[in-house]
């Protein structure tokens, strides 16, 4: 299986129908003809991913981890031959090579990772270091596009990114990315790119946007046994061409407020930079930290930044974000 994200090609080799089906769901619009992977005339970088499915993960390296996520979501270990191990406890163990001719991911995931809908997080987190080395940076944000201009909706899980994005999608905007968006520097602009990722709608969003249920897919018995959320296909109102890209025109930092209506207030570029850095940096990847911070600084200088406080009354939200000074 071959996918192309922007100009970058990734070859996926998987064992097990559940894994392959999960990849096809996640990367559906980014699939390309696999014969082009062997095209000697292609100059697009190619990254190889080989993953199997096991009931139990292998043992982690005996040495202490170089990095451990504060919530225990990820551990990083040093390996021989300039490789590192990415350990997602209970879900995956990958060996990642980023230098020289052997740029690849090799490893295993558990069936539990697929059943708990963790495949997207695992794959994008593991691909992110290689993407950065090609000039593309993932940010934890929802990205929406209108009139060839993009906005970013930034905030931790539960802050309302998906709710806001879906409300805008139902009002004529396009969704470039739901939870992680790829950014790159294109001349004087920071561009947002269409990025793979499923749309999963939690119970709170379903209550605020009850009409969203009509777009949900029927549950797939062989994929993602999490029943507390709905899956929306990235078609129709939620579709976006996989090659779509647009300059970032505004950044909104989301919080849930106590008022009924949604409110907007300016955010300083300095505080915005600190907040968006916290939502996108892999602290262990120190080699790429300077270039990543430089891109985020340029982004916060380029795009006006706002604090968006969400209330349950969402009817006026699209007009609130369609500000005259933003030309949206």
User: What domains, with CATH codes, occur in the chain?
Assistant: 2-134 (no CATH), 138-326 (3.40.50)
Average pLDDT rounded to a whole number, residues 7-26? 92
Residue 227 is predicted with a pLDDT of: 52
Residue 182 is predicted with a pLDDT of: 96
Higher per-residue confidence, 160 vs 44: 160
Q: Which pLDDT tens digit goes with each residue over 81-90?
A: 889 999 999 9
Q: At residue 59, does pLDDT exceed 90? A: yes
Q: Which pLDDT tens digit goes with each residue over 202-242?
A: 888 889 999 898 888 755 444 555 556 788 888 888 888 99
What residues pair up with 95 in beta bridges, in sequence order? 85, 106
Q: Which pLDDT tens digit goes with each residue over 300-321?
A: 999 999 999 999 999 999 998 8
Residue 221 is predicted with a pLDDT of: 45
Name the average pLDDT for the chain: 88
The structure tokens listed for 13 are: 């080799």
Alpha helices by DSSP H, listed for the chain, are 17-26, 111-115, 119-133, 161-169, 203-208, 269-278, 289-302, 317-321
Residue 56 in 3-state DSSP? coil
Do the beta carbons of residue 135 and residue 288 sit within 8 Å? Answer: no
Average pLDDT rounded to a whole number, residues 17-46? 81
* Core vs surface per residue 171-192: b (16+ CB within 10 A) or e: bebbbbbbbbbbbbbeeebbbb
> Would you place residue 282 in the very low, low, confident or very high pLDDT band (cuts 50, 70, 90)?
confident
Residue 117 is predicted with a pLDDT of: 87
Residue 235 is predicted with a pLDDT of: 85
Average pLDDT rounded to a whole number, residues 169-184? 94
d(CA 115, CA 98) in angstroms, rounded, equals: 29
Do the beta carbons of residue 64 and residue 71 sit within 8 Å? Answer: no
Q: At residue 328, does pLDDT exceed 50? A: no
Average pLDDT rounded to a whole number, residues 117-125? 93
Percentage of the chain lying above the pLDDT 90 cut = 64
Residue 324 is predicted with a pLDDT of: 42
Residue 226 is predicted with a pLDDT of: 52
- pTM for this predicted structure: 0.91
Q: Which pLDDT tens digit goes with each residue over 179-203?
A: 999 999 998 899 999 999 989 888 8
Residue 158 is predicted with a pLDDT of: 84
Residue 91 is predicted with a pLDDT of: 96
Q: How far apart are the first and last CA of the chain?
A: 38
């Amino acid at each position: 299986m071959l996918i192309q994200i922007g100009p970058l090609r990734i070859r996926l080799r998987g064992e097990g129908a559940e894994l392959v089906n999960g990849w096809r769901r996640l990367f559906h619009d980014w699939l390309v003809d696999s014969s082009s992977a062997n095209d000697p005339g292609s100059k697009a970088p190619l990254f190889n991913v080989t993953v199997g499915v096991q009931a139990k993960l292998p043992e982690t390296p005996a040495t202490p981890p170089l990095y451990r996520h504060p919530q225990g979501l990820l551990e990083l270990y040093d390996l021989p031959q300039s490789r590192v191990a990415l350990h997602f406890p209970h879900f995956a163990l990958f060996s990642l090579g980023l230098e020289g001719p052997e740029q690849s991911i090799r490893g295993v995931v558990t069936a539990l990772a697929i059943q708990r809908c963790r495949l997207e997080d695992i794959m994008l987190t593991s691909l992110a270091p290689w993407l950065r080395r090609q000039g593309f940076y993932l940010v934890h944000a929802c990205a929406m596009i209108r009139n060839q201009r993009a906005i970013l909706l930034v905030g931790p899980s539960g802050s309302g990114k998906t709710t806001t994005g879906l409300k805008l999608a139902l009002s004529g905007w396009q969704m470039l990315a739901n939870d992680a968006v790829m950014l790159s520097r294109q001349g004087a602009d920071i561009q947002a790119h269409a990025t793979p990722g499923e749309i999963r709608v939690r119970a709170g969003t379903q209550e605020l946007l009850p009409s969203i249920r009509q777009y949900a897919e029927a549950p797939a018995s062989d994929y993602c046994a999490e029943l507390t959320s709905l899956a929306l296909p990235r078609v129709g109102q939620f579709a976006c061409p996989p090659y779509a890209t647009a300059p970032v025109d505004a950044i909104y930092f989301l919080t849930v407020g106590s008022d009924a209506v949604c409110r907007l207030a300016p955010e300083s570029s300095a505080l915005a930079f600190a907040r968006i850095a916290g939502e996108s940096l892999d602290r262990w990847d120190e080699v790429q930290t300077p270039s990543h911070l430089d891109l985020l600084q340029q982004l916060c200088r380029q795009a006006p930044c706002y604090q968006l406080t969400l209330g349950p009354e969402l009817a006026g939200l699209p007009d609130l974000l369609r500000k005259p000074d933003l030309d949206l």
